[in-house]
A and B are shown apart, each in its own frame.
Chain A
Amino acid sequence: MTNIQKNDVLLELKNLKKYFPVRHGLLGTKVEHVKAVDGISFEIKRGETFGLVGESGCGKSTTGRTIIRLYEVTEGEVVFDGTELGRLTQKELIPYRKRIQMIFQDPYASLNSRMTVADIVGEPMDIHNIASGEDRQQKIYKLLETVGLSKDHASRYPHEFSGGQRQRIGIARALAVNPDFIICDEPISALDVSIQAQVVNMLEDLQKEMGLTYLFIAHDLSMVKHISDRIGVMYLGKLVEVADADKLYEDPNHPYTQALLSAIPIPDPDIAKNNERVILEGDVPSPLNPPSGCRFRTRCQYVMDVCSKEEPTLIDLGGGHMSACHLNNK
């Protein structure tokens, strides 16, 4: 990977919004909106891994699914390699579906149990007319070897595999169309600890070999830090902080990031015993009716008057470290 490539932007989100309507009332006439993603912007450079973290319900998975248009965009733009994806027709979208692939969280639910491994991995090739006949077969074998399975596995069915192996099949399927960009939506959270490391190492190797770009969505912050170059932290549909992975952990700016980091249990008894935790009170508010101003203000220990009136915007603190907090304006 050369430096010139590293710097050009592959994917850019501009003020992306995704609202889900919720109908109330007798005839379903009263409509409210769950603002799952409410105006987020960030860019992902070619060849990098961008981590997206946050608690359940913060909109991180919705963001991933909206990029690949599994959900339609409510407002804003998804610019992939210079093209706006949000307004393309399904037919125009097909070449981009080939360049963007996704790996899902649950390796049990994301593989069709009635298809053999060869058919699962081969299906994307059929759809995009990549290979057929003997060529297709050889490509499938090669992909299985790439992800650490063997060609004997090709004629088996998903139930014959363990969780880690199924996730490998899911990865082989994503690689079948030779994509540029892979959205990894919690790819390891359903796996055991010792298997997680196998899959993460494989993802890292594949990135080096094939020059892939990843959007890595997860709630496990220690694994995200390990794999990502840059990280975005989401809270209730908003991006609250973006920074280089090391910078974010060394010097978190937003009070939510600070609390999130201090909540992670460290597997070292001496450190754990002396660790002064920032324990957040209460739960995440409902995205149907989020707090005014800063959405984190109901749980923030530094809350001020301005927090309920004005919504903070992402401010560059230098070196690409962005944070949305009124404390930075003082």
Chain B
Amino acid sequence: MEKRVLDVKGLKTSFFTHLGEVQAVRGVDFHLDEGEALGIVGESGSGKSVTSMSVMKLLQYPGTIKEGEILFRDMDLVKKTNKEMMLVRGNRIAMIFQDPMTSLNPVYSIGDQIMEVIIRHQQASKQEAREKAIEMLRLVGIPSPDKRIDNYPHEFSGGMRQRAMIAIALACQPDVLIADEPTTALDVTIQAQILELMKELREKVKTSIILITHDLGVVADVCSRVVVMYGGLIMEEGTTEQIFYNPKHPYTMGLIKSIPRLDLAEKQRLIPIDGTPPDLLKPPAGCPFAARCEFCMQICLDQQPPYQSAEEGHRAMCWLMHPDAPKIDIGERGVVRK
């Protein structure tokens, strides 16, 4: 059995705004094994970013973790104080963000920002840290790193900034790297470069990755396991093959069908998911997807469905999987092959 690095149990995170409690994450369980790449997919407002911010304990006021455990190598991060978290953050769990321009500090050189992590967590001297920083820049593919180390973020292009962010994140060889939409702000050709780099580094540095994205193509390329989130809950979880070729939840099926396929010759009409995501100020009593689901039954509106297991490691939250439910085929194979 692989070793668990991260085990999140029953996580509930809410934002207490003046309008009321926004229940962004409403009870989420997932785990991350050593050396694997887990994808968290969902639309905006599904709770995927709040989940990762909760793991890092970077939630801003008025966000609070209400319930649950975040076990990282047998430490419960929920119980850690901010001071204790500072030893974990950047050192053992690191994060890269969507927009590399706003997450780098414009008044410090790239080198200073990489060295800061190394000096802080590894008790290195300035000279050692500088050498390590050059080493890291070389690792992420920045040309002539000994010169570029003294550049400022504005002298780097978008792709290079994201490479620099990855260098900062991996400087202390963390156990877990959380990448929140790392390529969304980048062009496709640069996205391909960064994804290739992440795949390569995962093997070199031996870091487990959580990749948060809305792009199913990116997930298929990088991840071995996928968690699909909607309305603050995990709708479905399984290996990448199970999710793409044998989706059990109508939402997962809807997501797969609503994107156009480049590799299919004939033009097919897209099948959109009608309606809009639920308001998490007043989350629905039943399944969060019920209002948009074409297979919606009465029970779906009244009661939240329990998780049903389809195969080893593949579970989904849907009443259709209940033994008493009518047998409905939610669609042919998720991905129509040529």
Residues of A at under 8 Å CB distance from B?
A: 55-56, 162, 164-165, 192-198, 200-201, 204, 219, 221-223, 225-226, 246, 249-250, 259-272, 275, 277, 279-280, 283-284
Please tell me if the beta carbons of B270 and A226 are within 8 angstroms of each other in the complex. Answer: yes
Closest to A277 in B: B192
Please tell me if the beta carbons of B240 and A267 are within 8 angstroms of each other in the complex. Answer: no
One of B20-28, B256-264, B294-302, B303-311 at the interface: B256-264
How many angstroms from the CA of A284 to the CA of B269 in the assembled complex?
A: 34
Q: A222-B260, A246-B265, A268-B220 are known contacts; what are 4 more A-B pairs with Cβ within 8 Å?
A: A196-B258, A226-B260, A263-B188, A265-B220
Please tell me if the beta carbons of A193 and B220 are within 8 angstroms of each other in the complex. Answer: no
Please tell me if the beta carbons of A263 and B262 are within 8 angstroms of each other in the complex. Answer: no
Query: Is the C-beta of B34 less than 8 angstroms from some C-beta in chain A?
Result: no
List 12 A–B pairs whose Cβ atoms lie within 8 Å, in order of A's numbering: A222-B260, A222-B262, A223-B260, A260-B189, A264-B217, A268-B337, A269-B220, A269-B245, A272-B217, A272-B220, A279-B189, A283-B157
A264: chain B residues within 8 A (beta carbon) = 188, 217, 262
The distance from the CB of A277 to the nearest CB of chain B, in whole angstroms, is: 6
Closest to B192 in A: A263
Query: Is the C-beta of B43 less than 8 angstroms from some C-beta in chain A?
Result: yes
CB under 8 Å from chain A, chain B span 264-289: 265, 267, 269-274, 276-277
How many angstroms from the CA of A218 to the CA of B189 in the assembled complex?
A: 15
Interface size class of B (residues with CB under 8 A): 35 or more
Closest to B270 in A: A197
How many angstroms from the CA of A261 to the CA of B189 in the assembled complex?
A: 9
A196: chain B residues within 8 A (beta carbon) = 258, 272
How many angstroms from the CA of A269 to the CA of B337 in the assembled complex?
A: 12
Please tell me if the beta carbons of A225 and B263 are within 8 angstroms of each other in the complex. Answer: no
Query: Is the C-beta of B290 less than 8 angstroms from some C-beta in chain A?
Result: no
Query: Is the C-beta of B169 less than 8 angstroms from some C-beta in chain A?
Result: no
The distance from the CB of B216 to the nearest CB of chain A, in whole angstroms, is: 4
Given contacts A266-B220, A283-B160, contact A194 B189 (CB under 8 A): no
Please tell me if the beta carbons of B272 and A201 are within 8 angstroms of each other in the complex. Answer: yes
Please tell me if the beta carbons of A193 and B214 are within 8 angstroms of each other in the complex. Answer: yes
Closest to B185 in A: A56
B220: chain A residues within 8 A (beta carbon) = 265-269, 271-272
- 4 cross-chain pairs, A with B, having the tightest CB-CB distances, nearest first: A265-B217, A197-B272, A226-B260, A263-B192
Closest to A286 in B: B157
How many angstroms from the CA of A265 to the CA of B187 in the assembled complex?
A: 12
A280: chain B residues within 8 A (beta carbon) = 189, 192-193
Please tell me if the beta carbons of A269 and B240 are within 8 angstroms of each other in the complex. Answer: yes
Given contacts A194-B255, A265-B217, A267-B335, contact A279 B192 (CB under 8 A): yes
How many angstroms from the CA of A292 to the CA of B146 in the assembled complex?
A: 29
How many angstroms from the CA of A265 to the CA of B157 in the assembled complex?
A: 22
How many angstroms from the CA of A191 to the CA of B49 in the assembled complex?
A: 17
Please tell me if the beta carbons of B188 and A55 are within 8 angstroms of each other in the complex. Answer: yes
Given contacts A55-B187, A194-B255, A198-B274, contact A269 B241 (CB under 8 A): yes
CB under 8 Å from chain A, chain B span 201-232: 214-221
Given contacts A260-B189, A280-B189, contact A201 B196 (CB under 8 A): no
Given contacts A260-B188, A260-B189, contact A268 B263 (CB under 8 A): yes
The distance from the CB of A10 to the nearest CB of chain B, in whole angstroms, is: 22
A259: chain B residues within 8 A (beta carbon) = 189
Query: Is the C-beta of B191 less than 8 angstroms from some C-beta in chain A?
Result: yes
The distance from the CB of B255 to the nearest CB of chain A, in whole angstroms, is: 6
The distance from the CB of B202 to the nearest CB of chain A, in whole angstroms, is: 14
Closest to A268 in B: B335
Closest to A275 in B: B221
How many angstroms from the CA of A269 to the CA of B246 in the assembled complex?
A: 12
A193: chain B residues within 8 A (beta carbon) = 43, 214, 216, 255, 258-259
